Amino acid sequence: MIRRSSLNGDERHLRLREIGLERGIAMRNQMFTGLQPSGDGLHIGNYLSAVKGVLALQETHDCILCVVDYHAITVPYEPGALRGRTLTPATEYLSAGVDPDRVTLVVQSDLPEHVELAWLLGCLMPLPKLEQLPTYKDKKARYGSPRFGLLAYPILMASDIMIYKADTVPVGKDQLPHIEFTREVVRKFNQTFGETFPEPQARLNEGAYVPSLTGNGAMSKSDGKGNIDLADDPETIRGKLARAVTDPARGRRSDPGEPTRCPIYAIHACFTPQAMLDEVAGGCRTATIGCLDCKRILADQMIDELAPIQARRAELIAHPETVRGVLAQGAATCRPRARETLREVRQRMGID
């Protein structure tokens, strides 16, 4: 018998929390986020939107961070280059201050339950929805003849989130269509088989869109030229910033600029305290500082913030067994929860 509710997904979730509180059960919100492994590690866009988003939530939420290696094979790749890469994002999360006593770090391929749930959810969703998603269209144009895995990518992502009944997902802006799609999957499942999942909300912070240093779109792992990586040393950071594109109106130092047109200013806003940021913006508009001065201030701020992260990173790289231990513990924590959701879903879908 399928029950329907007059409340929308968010209202239902709030109501479930209220019922929990009325019964003295303190329900903590469940946070989930994922990150693809890559050889160069995280760039500052990943760091600002996903990693810092997690740091802000680890006090208040149950948090799961997942290295999504099954997503990384949906486009052509080298098996040799992928092997061992799952340690890099986990190392960088831990270096950045993610506390393994409070946060669960896990590798997607350690939990085949994610893939089984993805199959079950995939049997529910109409094909055109998947074909319309912008990342599918972009990657199809970039890599040619798309594989089934690329089309199914958002289903696996929905499964990652839903298998832990997560309600909070810190991501960058590029992932918003996938979160919206996940909400559709949740609604479809709940309407068809009865109340099971909360509708997750994306959590964006001020680093949710970090532009490429080339001035061309967002910083991205596939376009290494415009990136600053979390592991870059001070000299590399200064060099990359010195070559970065700024407001085209500032051809000469004496030309006034408009900070909101400048990719460097957008990055400044994520690293520089407000008072200093206001000075930089004022100096740019009145041409009292040049682009090189502005970049030097940003480099100093960024290098200061990244230095302790890089020191911890070096320690963890010297002791990979520490990171492996955290990931093994993560899989052990997640497995019973993933299995429990699968059991419930199978039962609701009549496969029990």
**What residue ranges bind ligand TYM (CB under 6 A)?**
32-36, 45-46, 49-50, 68, 71, 157, 160-161, 169, 171-172, 174-175, 178, 207-210, 218-220
- Cβ contacts of residue 11 below 8 Å, gap of 6+? none
Task: Give the type of residue at 216.
Answer: N
Query: 78 or 352: whose CB is closer to ligand TYM?
Result: 78
Query: 50 or 294: whose CB is closer to ligand TYM?
Result: 50
Q: In what order do the strands lie in the sheet with 201-203?
A: 103-107, 62-67, 30-35, 168-170, 201-203
Kindly state the smallest distance separating residue 90's Cβ from ligand TYM, in Å: 13
Kindly state the smallest distance separating residue 36's Cβ from ligand TYM, in Å: 3
| CB count in 10 Å sphere of residue 98 | 19
Burial bucket for residue 248 (CB in 10 Å: 0-12, 13-18, 19+)? exposed
Kindly state the smallest distance separating residue 337's Cβ from ligand TYM, in Å: 15
Query: 49 or 289: whose CB is closer to ligand TYM?
Result: 49
Query: 169 or 277: whose CB is closer to ligand TYM?
Result: 169
| CB count in 10 Å sphere of residue 105 | 24
Kindly state the smallest distance separating residue 182's Cβ from ligand TYM, in Å: 8
Kindly state the smallest distance separating residue 308's Cβ from ligand TYM, in Å: 21
Give strand pairing partners of 64.
Answer: 32, 104
DSSP letter assigned to residue 63: E
User: At what angle are helices 274-285 and 291-318 packed, to 10 degrees?
Assistant: 140
CA distance 30 to 62: 5
Query: 49 or 104: whose CB is closer to ligand TYM?
Result: 49
CA distance 250 to 227: 22
Kindly state the smallest distance separating residue 102's Cβ from ligand TYM, in Å: 19
Q: Helix H segments across 194-248?
A: 234-243
Task: Give the type of residue at 264.
Answer: I
Kindly state the smallest distance separating residue 287's Cβ from ligand TYM, in Å: 29
Query: 54 or 345: whose CB is closer to ligand TYM?
Result: 54
Query: 42 or 289: whose CB is closer to ligand TYM?
Result: 42
Kindly state the smallest distance separating residue 212's Cβ from ligand TYM, in Å: 7
Query: 32 or 193: whose CB is closer to ligand TYM?
Result: 32
Closest residue to bound ligand TYM by CB: 172
| CB count in 10 Å sphere of residue 256 | 13
Q: Which two tokens stand for residue 159?
A: 């499964």
Pairing of β 103-107 and β 62-67: parallel
Q: How many residues make up the chain in this entry? A: 352
Neighbouring C-alpha atoms within 13 Å toward the C-beta of 161: 33
Kindly state the smallest distance separating residue 127's Cβ from ligand TYM, in Å: 20
Query: 216 or 288: whose CB is closer to ligand TYM?
Result: 216
